[in-house]
Amino acid sequence: MKKIIIGVVVILAAALVGLKYFAAKNQVGMPQPATQPQAEQQGVALPPGSTDYIPPSPMPTSAQATGSFEQLALPAAALDLKGACEGGSPKEIMENHGKTWGYFTGRNLAIEPIKTQDIYNHIWDYYACTAASRQDSSICSELPGENVKDVAKFGVPSFENPKVDSKIGAFMTPMDLCRKKTVLFLFKAYAAGKAKDQRNCLDFVSEQPSEGQPPLFANPAEFCTAVSKGFDSAFSYIKKKMPQAYPPAERLMAITADVCGSDAACLADHDLWTGLFTGNPAKCPDAYKPNCAALLQNSPGPCAPILADMSQKYCAYRKEQMKKSGGFFGVTPEEVKESLAEAARKKAEEERLRKQEETTTKQVNEKVRKLMGKKGE
C-alpha cells in the first residue's frame, strides 16, 4: 500500500515539473512588444532679436464665472434691505427670479424682457460696487457668465447702443459687464493711490489686447510699479517704453480736462479721476458715485441706493404687468385659466348657498307665521 502511495506522489511531482517546463518555454517563445525609440525633442528657433525682449511677468488668469442665471443671488448684506412695495425687497425679488422676472420664466405672466434686463443691470452694478468696496474684481465672477448667444432664446433684447453713456444691457454677460466697469475703475483707483494692491493693475493689463511683437505690456509688473509711484512716473514710463500707447493713455486716464475738449464721456472720466485722486466721491460722475464712496469707505454701504432703485423699478414693472393681466403675475396662462375656473366655481357655490339660505329662511318664516296665526284664533 505504501509503495502505491509513493508511486502516485512521484507521478504527480513529475507532471508538475513538466507543466512548469512547457509554460516557461511558451513564455520565452512569445513575441515581445516592440519599444519605440523616444524622439529627441527639438527646440524652435527664436526670431532674430528676440533675445532682446524683457520676459513678461506672471499675469492673472482669465476670469471664470462661478455663478449662473439659475442660481443668481445677491450678497448677504443686501438681503436685509427693505423694498419699495410689498414683495419688492431685494430678497423677495431674488426669490421670484425665474417666476415673475428673468430669462427663465417660461410661459409665466412676467416682466417683459427689456425691463427684466434692467433688473439684471442693477444686480451686476451692485456687484461692481461691492467689488469696489473690497478692491477685488474677482467678486464679479460670482455672476452668470453664460454667453449672450446661449440666453438669446430666453428673450435677451439687443436694444442698447454701446456708444451711449448707459449700461450695455444685452451685448455682454453680467460677469463681463461687472468686470468691464470694475477692472478699469480699480486700475484708476490704483493709479490715484487709493487701491494699493498691485493685482488691480495686473488685472487691468491682463485684459488688454496682446497682439504685437514685442507685446505692448512686455513687463506688466514693471509697468504697474511705475503706475504706483504716481501719474508722472506712469506717463514717463509709457513715453519711454510704450510710446505708441501714450495718446490713448492720456485719453483713458483723463487726468486733465484739456485732453477731452467737448467729449462728454472723456469729461466724465476726468471727473472720475478727480473724485478718486482727491478722495471726494461727490466729484465722481453719477454712475460711479456709489463705487467711489464704497472704495474710499471700504464698505458696501454706499451701494444700497442701487438696490433701492432696483426695488422701485421692479415695483413699477410689477404694477404695470398686473394691470395688463387682470391682477395675475408670475403664473402661466393655464394657471390663470384654472384660477378663474376655481373662482367661478367658488362664486357658483356661494350663490347656491345664498339661495339655499334664502329658501330656508323663507320656509322658517312661513312656519312662524302659521304658528302665530293659530295662536291668534
pLDDT at 143: 92
Q: What is the DSSP string of 104-143?
A: T-TTS----HHHHHHHHHHHHHHHHHHHHHHT-GGGGGGS
| pLDDT tens-digit series, residues 220-261 | 899 999 999 988 888 888 888 888 888 888 888 888 888 899
Query: CB-side exposure of 162: number of CA atoms within 13 Å?
Result: 6
* Cell numbers given for 44: 524652435
pLDDT at 214: 53
Which of 14-28, 133-147, 173-187, 281-295 has the highest mean predicted lDDT (pLDDT)? Answer: 281-295
Model pTM score:
0.68
pLDDT band at 310 (very low <50, low <70, confident <90, very high): very high
| pLDDT tens-digit series, residues 98-121 | 888 887 776 667 788 778 888 999
Helix (H, G, I), strand (E, B) or coil at 144: strand
Is the model more confident about 162 or about 218?
A: 218
Is the model more confident about 223 or about 375?
A: 223
pLDDT at 218 over 90: no
CA distance 156 to 117: 7
DSSP 282: G
CA distance 272 to 285: 6
DSSP 255: -
Q: Quote the percentage of the chain above a pLDDT of 90.
A: 34
pLDDT at 325: 72
CA distance 341 to 299: 52
pLDDT band at 322 (very low <50, low <70, confident <90, very high): confident
CB burial of residue 360 (10 Å; 0-12, 13-18, 19+):
exposed
Q: How many of the other CB atoms lie within 10 Å of CB of 77?
A: 15
**Quick one: average pLDDT of 271-283?**
96
pLDDT at 333: 55
